[in-house]
Amino acid sequence: MDAIDNIIAEIDRKAAQERNQQKIEEEGKIIAWYEKEVAKAKALHEEQLTKQSKTLEQKFKQLASRQQMDVRQETLVQKQDYLDQLFEEAYDQMKAWDKEAIQRFAKHNLKALDLKEAAVLLPAGPKVTEALTKDFIQSLNLSYPLSLGKGSQTSSAGFLVDVNGVQYNFLYRDLLQEVRNQAGNELSKKLFS
Q: Which domain holds residue 2?
A: 1-96
Same domain, yes or no, for 140 and 160? Answer: yes
Which of 51, 66, 96 delimits the end of a domain? 96
Instruction: Output the DSSP codes for 27-49.
Output: HHHHHHHHHHHHHHHHHHHHHHH
Residues 3, 92, single domain; the answer is: yes
CA–CA dist 15, 6 (Å, integer) = 14
In this structure, the answer to whether residues 1 and 89 fall within a common structural domain is yes
The last residue of a domain, from among 47, 79, 96? 96
Domain count, the chain: 2
**pTM of the complete model beyond 0.85:** no
pLDDT digit string (tens) for 105-144? 999 998 888 788 899 999 998 899 999 999 999 898 777 8
Q: Where in 25-183 does DSSP place strands (E)?
A: 119-124, 146-148, 158-163, 166-171
- H or E element in which residue 133 lies: none
Choose the final residue of a domain: 96, 129, 145: 96
Question: At 156, which CATH number?
Answer: 3.30.2320.30
pLDDT by residue for the chain (193 residues), tens only, comes to 688 888 888 888 888 898 999 999 999 999 999 999 999 999 999 999 999 999 999 999 999 999 999 999 998 898 889 888 988 999 999 999 999 999 999 999 988 887 888 999 999 988 999 999 999 998 987 778 888 988 766 668 999 999 998 899 999 999 999 988 887 777 777 777 7
Both 162 and 107 in one domain: the answer is yes
Both 21 and 31 in a single domain? yes
